[in-house]
Structure 1
Amino acid sequence: MKVVVAGAGRLGTQIAQVLGSARNQVTVVERDEDRVGALRDRLPAELVVGDACEPAVLEGAGAHAADLVVAATGADEDNLVVSLLAKRQFKVARVIARVNDDENAWLFTSHWGVDTAVPSAAPLVSLIEEATSATDTVALLRLSKAGVNVIETTISPLSRAAGQTLARLAVPAGIVVTAVVRDGEPLVPAPDLELRAGDELLVVSHTATETEVHAAFQ
């Protein structure tokens, strides 16, 4: 699946991490050059500096051949413009847009090219379910094309993983931590990274269940 994500904030980087790890072709468009530089080697995605509200930038990012566009910027007006361009100019089959302000939710309809509007408070799992048309009811994603399970778990103050490095944790075989999000910023899941309460982990596995993953980190 070819995916274009507009916005490299917390939500944009998370969805790029998950879909890219599942071997989808992902391109992220972000106007902040410093932000792009910081993420350059951290995401399994192509990063493009530019304003996704400009047709030429979207086209350069591959919108003309995209199966999915995710408008995930922090500005509702930008997400609406990106959605409209994706649907009307580039004929993208599926467009998902983030709603930052609930009062603007009524605008996020097919009139603006939005197939699915996702509230900013919705968990990552809900957004990926929409992106992949999944219907998993236990918050466990099964990305059918890759046969990969993607599970989101948060380290609590009582988690045995708090204060431990990834290398010291005994986790079931086949589990790979693809991202650690701390205070809204993605971190490289290096073996010596010490986990803290509040860290959000994205775990990819072909075999482990949600229960096994939560047991490993809680």
Structure 2
Amino acid sequence: MATTGDDADNLTISLLAKRRFSVPRVAARVNDADNTWLFDAHWGVDVAVPAATPLISLIEEATGTTDTVALLRLSKAGIEVIETAITSRSRAAGRALGDVALPEGTVVATIVRGGRPTVPDAAVRLRPGDEVLLVSHSATEDEIHAAFQ
């Protein structure tokens, strides 16, 4: 599976997997819908999976390939639930939640610390290992990632 956030990388990975390493079945994430036509057998792709597919987010979360993942899209309500994990490398580590500039239209739903959800408070200092769940009607995963990572 090629699941990076860059279509060119996913195509390159797919082609190498298929031709160089003889991988029998290759699935690739399509980030930009305008590029869908490229994701075919010529580029070593057997299955093209749109980035909007919730399964991609679940795969990313399970494999740890990203710090920030869209967990739920409620298209009728126009909101997303997004998770970002605080690591020792995160710019938000050690900072108070209130000091993190959130994208407009975004609220922190909870901070999961030690497996327990806590009520978000502006004074809470974020620590490595914290998982921050956000609800937004306009922010993208990339914007959330930029704010915390």
Alignment TM class, shorter chain as reference: 0.5 to 0.7
Offset at residue 137 of structure 1 (A): 4.5
Query: Which position in structure 2 is the counterpart of 1:203?
Result: 134
Aligned to 2:94: 163
Aligned pair partner of 2:73 in 142, 156, 166:
142
Flag structure 1 segments of 5+ consecutive residues without an equivalent. 1-133
Q: Distance in 2 between matches of 1:216 and 1:153?
A: 10
Shift of 1:144: 2.4
Give, in whole Å, the separation in 1 of the partners of 2:121 and 2:142. 24
Q: Deviations 1:141-190 (Å, cap 9, x if unpaired)? A: 21123211111110010111011111111222111110100001111101
Distance 2:83 2:99 in 1: 20
Deviations 1:56-80 (A, max 9, x none): xxxxxxxxxxxxxxxxxxxxxxxxx
RMSD of Structure 2 on Structure 1 (CA)? 1.6
Alignment TM-score, normalising by the size of structure 1 = 0.37
User: What TM-score comes out, normalization by structure 2 length?
Assistant: 0.53
Q: Following the alignment from structure 1 to structure 2, what is the Cα–Cα distance between the partners of residues 212 and 152?
A: 12
Q: Does 1 or 2 have the higher relative contact order (CA < 8 Å, sep 6+)?
A: 2
Gaps of 5+ in 2: 1-51, 58-69
Question: Partner amino acid for 2:117?
Answer: P
Q: C-alpha distance in 2, partners of 1:153/1:170?
A: 14
Q: Distance in 2 between matches of 1:204 and 1:152?
A: 9
CA deviations on 1:31-60 (whole Å, 9 max, x unpaired) are xxxxxxxxxxxxxxxxxxxxxxxxxxxxxx
Amino acid at match of 2:132: L
The number of residues matched between the two structures is: 85
Q: Show structure 1 runs of 4+ deviating over 6 A.
A: none
Q: CA deviation at 1:138?
A: 4.3
Mapping of residues 114-133 of structure 1, within 5 Å: none
